[in-house]
A and B are shown apart, each in its own frame.
Chain A
């Protein structure tokens, strides 16, 4: 099946606005992203969250043919800290352990 990935902010600057992926039927969001990242290692360490139909979904969410997955880098957060996107290379996000994104 085919799904479309949409990118925002720093991901959009690195990858363009969107990408189409051919994936196996019933693939999870995590699996799709893992496959995509394998071909785009420059974003492998970016913390991401996913949304489908304008609502957040878990990495284990199963996709249907034609779904569009919005891939979000961290939102501004307002912690008062700042670091360049180019050095955002820390540990993968907490959910990656379960989602297998690492």
Chain B
């Protein structure tokens, strides 16, 4: 299951998609929209995807992870459009024989997804908005955390 959806991500469906009789572990990562970034109060977020390529890249990452960690199944979903604060914007589920591979693969998948899958995030604030990601290579941003 590899989905771009413009409504809430169905986490139960994601879990079902990776159930496997040979799996001893399922690790799920859910990325949620946060109400602050770099000291700014975020009111809502918006995601834009190059949908056909994003789906293709997600499938390709899943195939790589399956080979590398010998996973049973992988499922991924990403929201597009406006996502209210506190909701899931991205979710990844991985099943494997044992927990170690499942944890490692899930961690790798979310990192790679954010690096290469063509999906962009825009944060809306009171009185402004900005695309996130544009900071790379620029002068240091206001630091979060």
A binds B: yes
The A interface, classified by DSSP as helix, strand, loop or mixed, is loop
Is B142 touching A70 in the complex (CB atoms < 8 A)? no
Q: Which of A23-31, A59-67, A84-92 participates in binding chain B?
A: A84-92
Tell whether A74 is near chain B: CB-to-CB under 8 Å.
yes
Per-position contact with A for B130-145: 1 when CB-CB < 8 Å, else 0?
1111111111111111
Size of the chain A interface, CB-CB below 8 angstroms: 34
Tell whether B48 is near chain A: CB-to-CB under 8 Å.
yes
Measured CA separation A3–B129 after assembly (Å):
32
Is B130 touching A84 in the complex (CB atoms < 8 A)? yes
Is B53 touching A76 in the complex (CB atoms < 8 A)? no
Whether A82 contacts B132 in the complex (CB less than 8 A), given A8-B50, A90-B138, comes out as yes
Measured CA separation A81–B134 after assembly (Å):
10
Is A80 touching B120 in the complex (CB atoms < 8 A)? no
Measured CA separation A92–B141 after assembly (Å):
16
User: In the assembled complex, how far is the CB of residue A100 from the closest CB belonging to chain B, in whole angstroms?
Assistant: 17
Which B residues lie within 8 Å of A98 (CB)?
none
B90-145 CB contacts (< 8 Å) to partner A:
110-111, 114-123, 128, 130-145
Which A residues lie within 8 Å of B37 (CB)?
80, 82
Tell whether A46 is near chain B: CB-to-CB under 8 Å.
yes
Is B142 touching A83 in the complex (CB atoms < 8 A)? yes
The B interface, classified by DSSP as helix, strand, loop or mixed, is mixed
Measured CA separation A46–B134 after assembly (Å):
7
Is B114 touching A85 in the complex (CB atoms < 8 A)? no
Tell whether B22 is near chain A: CB-to-CB under 8 Å.
no
- Report which of A6, A76, A91 forms a contact with B133, defined as CB distance below 8 A: A76
Is B136 touching A77 in the complex (CB atoms < 8 A)? yes
Is B114 touching A89 in the complex (CB atoms < 8 A)? no
Measured CA separation A24–B92 after assembly (Å):
44
Whether A92 contacts B118 in the complex (CB less than 8 A), given A9-B131, A80-B145, comes out as no
Tell whether B40 is near chain A: CB-to-CB under 8 Å.
yes
**Which 10 A/B pairs are nearest by Cβ-Cβ distance?**
A90-B138, A83-B135, A9-B120, A88-B134, A74-B133, A76-B121, A83-B141, A78-B114, A81-B141, A54-B53
Chain A: residues with CB nearer than 8 A to chain B? 6, 8-10, 12, 46-47, 51, 54-56, 70, 72-93
